[in-house]
Structure 1
Amino acid sequence: MQETSRSPDTSTPAGWLWRAVRWCITAFALLLDHLKPVRVSLLIIAFGAIMALGVDQVAELFLIAVWTDPSTGRYLGLLASSAVAGMAIWYGARNAYRLIYPRWPALQDPRGEGLRNWLPRLFGAAIPLLVLLGYVVSLNTVPHGPCGVTADCQQRVWRAVGLLIESLLMVAFFVTRRRLLNALPSREAKPVCLQPSSEQRLTRVRELGAPVLRWYMAVIALNIVATVLIAWWPEALDGIGPLAILLIAAAFFCFSGGLLCMFADRRGWPLLSTLLLASGLFHVLHLNDNHRVRQYPAMSTHQAPAAAPVESRPSFEAYANAWLEDRCANRPTCPVIVVSAEGGGIRGAAWTALVLARLTEQVRPSGSNESTFARYLFAGSGVSGGSLGLATYAALLRQPGGSMEARTGQLLSHDFLAPTLANMFFVDFTQRWLPGAWFDDRSRALTRAWERAARRQGAPAMAQPFADLYRHADGSADTSIPALFLNSTTVAEGRRFIQHPFRPMASLQQQPWTAAFDGSVWLDPRVPLSEAVLNSARFTYVSPAGTLENTPAPGVTPPVPTRLQLVDGGYFENSGTTTLLEVMTRLRTVAEQRHQSLRFIVLHISNDPEMPDFIDRHDPGHPLPLYSASCQKPDTSNPSLSGEVAAPVKALLDTRSARGDYARVQLLRTLHTSDSDPAGGDMLWHFRLCPGEYPIPLGWTISPPVFTELGRQLQQNYPLARMTQALDEQLGPPGS
């Protein structure tokens, strides 16, 4: 007897359940097919959601754009760019649904009419809501709420409400625009359909009509013009804010990518996969590498360097001897201030520069214009943002004028992120699909922003050769600026790459660096200060790895590679203290040859509020020989366990922090301190940040409330009067 299959009886509970399951499967398949032709819009929205919910560094951008920025013009620009991006996403999705795609017959299913009518509208209206969501989420990082930050608190509430109103107005426009069009006298003869799903489906893109295609062509042409303009002038969109730039880039991407996808989807071409494969192939074969390390100010990031000139940098020994002769002659024990500045983006830069500027202005004899602190500051070792802070201090110290602390705040309050993002999403994005290197990359936009901000403060040194800060016109060593050692990391070898303004310090006879590369062996004597800072601060993906090609001088070191890739110095260790210890050792050797004794005054400047302290001395009345501010210690007694997949990755990442902890402890153990005679030994002050009243960002843009928070912590957590007195006693008058 042959069995026949039957559908379950829908009158029973099991039958109803089976029917519900089938309905869910059908609805999901229908939704999935409807998302495929609008995947460009969907990718933009997904990217925005990830930024708003999952990236801590982006939180400050939302706070700046919606709350702390006093500029009404920039807020209106944010509303306008949100509306433009939303309209572009809606327009692209609406036109994508007008076509018939042979691969997706479900798009003709009458049951999907509601999706075709409402998905474009919801996608478009979601853009202002994503900005609002990012702002609301970022408010959780402000302990006392934004009303404790801005004076016009109630007025700023309307900024958030404005985004919500904009989203509602966009929905109203999308729903009523067809009725409004039909109400026009010109539409009496040929009214439009009241619902998008009622329109005739088309088989070719050109059937969309001349007005639609003209819109696409005009926007694509504008995209090309914007790309060329930003390639030539990275600061073209500076001043409108990073979020506005991201929204404008999303609008262009939706128009350009959406049109290409419509052509490809009609013919069944896997366009996005093909483009990704092409870009990956160009990358693997190094056919479009425009990330070269600039060797001299006129060099671009897409050209090979010219031959290096004759060596003109001073030697470290010449600098150290001149420094010791000028500061330490006839002193039985000479005080030497050295600094290690940790990485941490703009947070590390601002905190480092603020601490050094405050001490420079306060540690000086009454009535004297010369700072004894600056005079006895011998060297600084920086990583990433700490390197930018040290370079900012050195550039301003070279060109004195006005309050150094005020100039520091004005220089670093510049929006460095906006031109970087503009280049990333316009120029670098275009370069990824082109064979050959044609344009400067986004890292050059970042260094140009640093140079521009420094020039506004009368400090051109950021754009000039690094070594020029340390030599006189006659070639002799100039000791008026502390020696900077900026740490980068090599990709293939995983070693430190130490940049400094002197001739190569490593030789066959002596090697001051432990398992590290001496940057002067590879770098041209004309390398700009901004490029040296960049190599130390090639922050993950924001600044790409830099390709360094050069021929090392023969006989300087053992055989070395002629090509290196450089990334952020924090990949190896983020404290900068490993290099500082080696610099101190080298200086001690020079001093011993001169029969001079040194007393080191070490300032370690960290900026991670969650970092455990390595100095347990918090008595403001007795900051010698060790001192660190007292913060609430993070709870590390019971760390969360990781699964077998995440554990190896987490261990690799956490070893970076552990190397920093190890280096700090080694620094502490190297110093000769004495509680019985604090004035007779070395001393170490740890300038750290604590969890405060306002979140301090890691990116490349900063707002006035952040500087207020930094100044408050420096004033409240550190006994500056007592520390200034202690330094005065250690250093003596400027001429001594």
Structure 2
Amino acid sequence: MTKTPKRNWYKEHIEPLLGRLGNWYQAHIEPLLGRLGNCYQAHIEPWLKGLWYLRIPAVVAILSVISFGCVPQTIEVYRVLALNAAEPKLSYADFQTLFSFVFILLLSFSIWYSANILIKYESGNKLCKQEQKEELKCLSNILSFVPIGSLIFGLANAINFLENFIEWILCIVVCLAVYCAYYKLIIECVFSQREPPKKDDVIFFAFIPFLMFWLFTFILIIPENPIKPILITVICLLTLVDILLFLFPGLRENNNKYITFLAVVVAVALVIISYYYLSKPELVTSVLGSISIISISFSGFVIFSSLISYVGYKYNFPILAILLISLTGFSWFDLNDNHRIRQVENPRSQQLMTLEKSFSDWKKARTDDIAKFREAKPKERYPIYIVSAQGGGIFAAYHAASTLSRLQDLCPEFASHVFAISGVSGGSLGAAAFSSLINTELGSVSLDSQKKLNCSGKLHKEVRGKLEQKAHELLNQDFLSPLLAAGLFPDSLQGFLPFPINSLDRARGLEYAFEKAWDSAYPPDSKEQKPNLLKGSYYDHWNPKKSAPALVLNTTVVETGDRLVLSPFKIDLPNLKDISSVACNAKKEDIIDPPLSTAAVLSARFISVTPVGWFNRCDRDEKGKPIQSSSRKSRLADGGYFENSGVSTAVEIGSRLEEFLRKEKEQEKIQVVYLAITDLRPQKIDRGFIELFGGLNEIMSPINALYNSRDARGFSIIDQAKYLTDPASYDPNSIFNSGFKKHYSSQRFRQFYLHNQEFTFKDGEKVISQDEKRLSENGSDKTEFPLGWLLSEPSQEAIKKLVGGSQDCGKDGMKTSNNDCVFESIKEELNY
């Protein structure tokens, strides 16, 4: 029987199929890839090469998008400028608005001009061939529009927070029209028709950012001495000569007397104006504002860096690489860390009392007051308040200062009942503001001679009391502009130097601005003028015989992650120490005696905006004396890295006071009450944030976990503190305890929420409406406050309303809030 040969399926089916696929690929795909390749070479590759060649202008354009269009603090700046511009009275904000537009246009021009320096200066450059020039010119025009486009985008974001929507749409249209006019008149009609820039032009124009740098540097770091006016005059003259030689080349080429006369008149006028403003440094940042400062710094950077980049390519010398290696190397070997903690002019070594001894003296000074309280309320205990103020930049400072000042306006005895305030980050600045105001208003009066006043009636949420108004004037300032000026100009030089210059530290910009804000509350050369306590030593702010509370300011040790506090009394516990107990103090430069402004800002050094500060730390021998041979640098960061609420330090201090009261057998007469200025725990996860960054799991998840854990840790500690202080009334399953009012008089842990929630009472129990529950769950009732150092009027007004007051807490059918009830409870305690 003949065998049937096996069929070869591969030859019969697969080979023909592969052949057809190959033919189809050659007929369709290969030509398509060829066309795509040709399209890439003809259209995309020139743009990419051009973008690489113009990478410095492109990087600055990208930075302008981030800075002017995406940062929440920038949106807050737009709100400030918009609302102040609407006021009929002329103010610095009007100049800031004008200069912001002018310097953003200057930035657009700087990007365009820098790109054209690279394009035009040498037509034979191998990286800039003749056939690429049209694409590069088009690219330079696109890059030059990016800053003004970013401004428009930022204004569009800010529109959502403004009432006059149509007016601000018109404002955006005006921005576009101004840019178009600027582009036509300045770029196309003037500079595009000029010959390629001469070497003199390039050198003079590149010298401008160098002079601008020194303008901002000298006014910030040069102390008041006879040489300062001379330096300012020289800088003004050099800048003007530079500008005049660039704008009026005829001064070099001919002797036209009219041009010469005009140039001289302009020079003299500008010197007079510049000298006036530069002799008053605070006016520079006040008039320019943060948008202008960023624009000026970007303009200088793009011009100077483009020139260096071009020279490096032309002479085949890696200037940029050398600068970057120097920047990295100096920082790697810690050669130029200039962020040493600033000290007062004549620092003193501090011999601090222990916490227990300090509290004993504080309580002794209030003996008569305690006796009066016990006589008026024999069944109640004398309240001693330990306050904690959460971190969060300027909004936390404003919230803390407003809450404490309103309590003081409501109850004049409140401050004398507060033993200490545990501050974190922005909360430290708010606490420092409150303490300084109390010392100013009541500091000269001893407790024995003070007239005892009961709490007043209601405080309306829409009206600020006397002390709250002072706190508002103190913190209603632009702290952002001085910080940016110090960071973008003097401190930017420090990275390229192999040695530290402490006066270039950008943190000092914020410290000096905080000190200068005092003049807004107590204007100099007026009847209200008072000594500026923010400039004085931190250790002078507290006297146990006076009303002002002690400031315990939290920081985080970079090397260990532990807390380290600045405290006016000695704290030397296993898990909590004050800086004086670990600092070396044998040498004058190692003594820790900072100004109050520096101490507050030291607690608020967060994520590169304000740098970590450092001091020399020493181990201790058995007698507690520092061992100088163990001296080493220790860096301190924002206290919020460890825990952002400040409650942990407050509870540790309070527990030591309670232990002391038990030893003295006074726990039945005196009680410690904790007041936490904080916020509600978020009820829902922000889905928008997850949808935006959910795809960057490998990169964003660790960063988000580290960042969000600081707030979560604070909420966890708050829950623990609630349970430890009020175990009978604390319900761990609910933020809103239904027995709130019923048990309130005995609660020893109370919170002032930044985002408050309204409710009513029915039969003594709290009732939250379905609308309020829905708003809380969705988070749509929350006003978002920027994490920065400038707060707009709408944000200030929102905080003012949310702070609360004594508003009929507990009456059936009356709408009230958590903060109202806290105010009411304190009012009831302090009426005796």
Sort the TM-score into its range (normalised by shorter chain): 0.7 to 0.9
For the Cα contact (< 8 Å) 1:339–1:603, is it kept in 2? yes
Residue 487 of structure 2, aligned match among 417, 424, 428 = 424
Higher relative contact order (CA 8 A, sep 6+): 1
The reply to whether residue 258 of structure 1 matches residue 300 of structure 2 is no
State the 1:639 CA deviation: 7.4
Pair 22,245 (structure 1): closer, same or farther in 2 beyond 3 Å: same
Partner of 1:460: 532
Q: Whole-Å Cα distance in 2 between the matches of residues 633 and 211 of structure 1?
A: 59
Partner of 1:229: 219
Pair 558,589 (structure 1): closer, same or farther in 2 beyond 3 Å: farther
Range that drifts further, 129-138 or 412-421? 129-138
Q: Whole-Å Cα distance in 1 between the matches of residues 817 and 409 of structure 2?
A: 16
What number of residue pairs does the alignment pair up?
A: 645
Partner of 1:270: 318
State the 1:280 CA deviation: 1.1
For the Cα contact (< 8 Å) 2:566–2:578, is it kept in 1? yes
The reply to whether residue 113 of structure 1 matches residue 125 of structure 2 is no
Pair 445,552 (structure 1): closer, same or farther in 2 beyond 3 Å: farther
Q: Whole-Å Cα distance in 2 between the matches of residues 596 and 651 of structure 1?
A: 45
Q: Whole-Å Cα distance in 2 between the matches of residues 57 and 352 of structure 1?
A: 20
Partner of 2:359: 320
The reply to whether residue 384 of structure 1 matches residue 425 of structure 2 is yes
The reply to whether residue 396 of structure 1 matches residue 386 of structure 2 is no
Pair 56,456 (structure 1): closer, same or farther in 2 beyond 3 Å: closer
Partner of 1:518: 578
State the 1:638 CA deviation: 13
Query: Equivalent residue of 1:400, what SS?
Result: helix
Residue 601 of structure 1, aligned match among 666, 673, 692 = 673
Range that drifts further, 72-81 or 332-341? 332-341
Question: Aligned partner of 1:127: which letter?
Answer: P
Residue 108 of structure 2, aligned match among 59, 73, 86 = 86
Deviations 1:535-560 (A, max 9, x none): 21002111111111154665338988
Segments of structure 1 that go 5 or more residues without pairing to the other structure are 1-7, 182-191, 194-198, 200-206, 300-307, 364-370, 472-476, 613-631
Question: Aligned partner of 1:27: which letter?
Answer: H
Range that drifts further, 385-394 or 255-264? 255-264
Query: Equivalent residue of 1:269, what SS?
Result: coil
Question: Aligned partner of 2:294: which letter?
Answer: L
Q: Whole-Å Cα distance in 2 between the matches of residues 218 and 347 of structure 1?
A: 37
Alignment of 1:587-626 (within 5 A): 587-597=657-667, 598-607=670-679, 611-612=681-682
Q: Whole-Å Cα distance in 2 between the matches of residues 460 and 100 of structure 1?
A: 58
Residue 444 of structure 1, aligned match among 485, 494, 508 = 508
Question: Aligned partner of 1:125: which letter?
Answer: F
Deviations 1:130-169 (A, max 9, x none): 1111222344xx4xx411xxxx665555433332222212
Partner of 1:49: 65
Alignment of 1:167-316 (within 5 A): 167-173=179-185, 176-177=188-189, 208-232=198-222, 235=282, 237-239=284-286, 240-294=288-342, 296-298=343-345, 309-316=348-355
For the Cα contact (< 8 Å) 1:419–1:449, is it kept in 2? yes
Partner of 1:137: 157
Residue 172 of structure 2, aligned match among 160, 164, 176 = 160
For the Cα contact (< 8 Å) 1:488–1:568, is it kept in 2? yes
Pair 161,600 (structure 1): closer, same or farther in 2 beyond 3 Å: farther
Partner of 2:624: 556
State the 1:561 CA deviation: 6.3
Range that drifts further, 436-445 or 68-77? 68-77
State the 1:222 CA deviation: 4.2
Q: Whole-Å Cα distance in 2 between the matches of residues 169 and 637 of structure 1?
A: 39
Pair 209,254 (structure 1): closer, same or farther in 2 beyond 3 Å: same
Partner of 1:567: 637
For the Cα contact (< 8 Å) 1:60–1:138, is it kept in 2? yes
Pair 722,217 (structure 1): closer, same or farther in 2 beyond 3 Å: closer
Question: Aligned partner of 1:381: which letter?
Answer: S
Q: Whole-Å Cα distance in 2 between the matches of residues 395 and 237 of structure 1?
A: 27
Deviations 1:662-719 (A, max 9, x none): 2111110121355665434524234232565754221011121111111122348636
State the 1:599 CA deviation: 2.6
For the Cα contact (< 8 Å) 1:465–1:525, is it kept in 2? no
Question: Aligned partner of 2:561: which letter?
Answer: G
Query: Equivalent residue of 1:380, what SS?
Result: strand
Residue 477 of structure 2, aligned match among 414, 419, 444 = 414
> 4+ runs of 1 displaced by more than 6 Å?
8-13, 557-561, 635-642
Deviations 1:350-384 (A, max 9, x none): 11111111111112xxxxxxx12222122211110
Pair 217,681 (structure 1): closer, same or farther in 2 beyond 3 Å: closer
* Identical pairs, percent: 25
Residue 643 of structure 1, aligned match among 685, 697, 700 = 697
For the Cα contact (< 8 Å) 1:535–1:567, is it kept in 2? yes
Q: Whole-Å Cα distance in 2 between the matches of residues 11 and 109 of structure 1?
A: 36
Q: Whole-Å Cα distance in 1 between the matches of residues 179 and 385 of structure 2?
A: 56
Partner of 2:388: 340
Partner of 1:128: 148
Pair 697,39 (structure 1): closer, same or farther in 2 beyond 3 Å: same
For the Cα contact (< 8 Å) 1:338–1:601, is it kept in 2? yes
For the Cα contact (< 8 Å) 1:469–1:478, is it kept in 2? no
Return the TM-score normalized by structure 2.
0.71
Residue 470 of structure 1, aligned match among 538, 542, 551 = 542
Q: Whole-Å Cα distance in 2 between the matches of residues 72 and 412 of structure 1?
A: 20
Question: Aligned partner of 1:377: which letter?
Answer: V
Q: Whole-Å Cα distance in 1 between the matches of residues 698 and 666 of structure 2?
A: 56
RMSD of equivalent CA atoms: 3.2
For the Cα contact (< 8 Å) 1:83–1:166, is it kept in 2? no
Range that drifts further, 208-217 or 38-47? 208-217
Query: Equivalent residue of 2:172, what SS?
Result: helix
Residue 664 of structure 1, aligned match among 696, 714, 718 = 718
Query: Equivalent residue of 1:97, what SS?
Result: helix
Question: Aligned partner of 1:529: which letter?
Answer: L
Q: Whole-Å Cα distance in 1 between the matches of residues 127 and 313 of structure 2?
A: 14
Return the TM-score normalized by structure 1.
0.80
Partner of 2:451: none
Range that drifts further, 545-554 or 716-725? 716-725
For the Cα contact (< 8 Å) 2:108–2:148, is it kept in 1? yes
Range that drifts further, 214-223 or 334-343? 214-223
The reply to whether residue 354 of structure 1 matches residue 374 of structure 2 is no
Q: Whole-Å Cα distance in 2 between the matches of residues 355 and 37 of structure 1?
A: 55
Query: Equivalent residue of 2:340, what SS?
Result: coil
For the Cα contact (< 8 Å) 2:213–2:490, is it kept in 1? no
State the 1:106 CA deviation: 5.2
Deviations 1:87-134 (A, max 9, x none): 1111111111124488x7352142x23223222222223221111112
Question: Aligned partner of 1:565: which letter?
Answer: R
Deviations 1:272-327 (A, max 9, x none): 33212111111111211110012x2228xxxxxxxx64434444323311332314
Range that drifts further, 634-643 or 461-470? 634-643
Range that drifts further, 394-403 or 438-447? 394-403
For the Cα contact (< 8 Å) 1:67–1:159, is it kept in 2? no
Segments of structure 2 that go 5 or more residues without pairing to the other structure are 1-23, 87-92, 224-280, 443-464, 523-530, 584-590, 730-738, 757-779, 805-814
For the Cα contact (< 8 Å) 2:438–2:548, is it kept in 1? yes
Pair 73,650 (structure 1): closer, same or farther in 2 beyond 3 Å: closer
Query: Equivalent residue of 2:217, what SS?
Result: helix
Pair 435,55 (structure 1): closer, same or farther in 2 beyond 3 Å: same
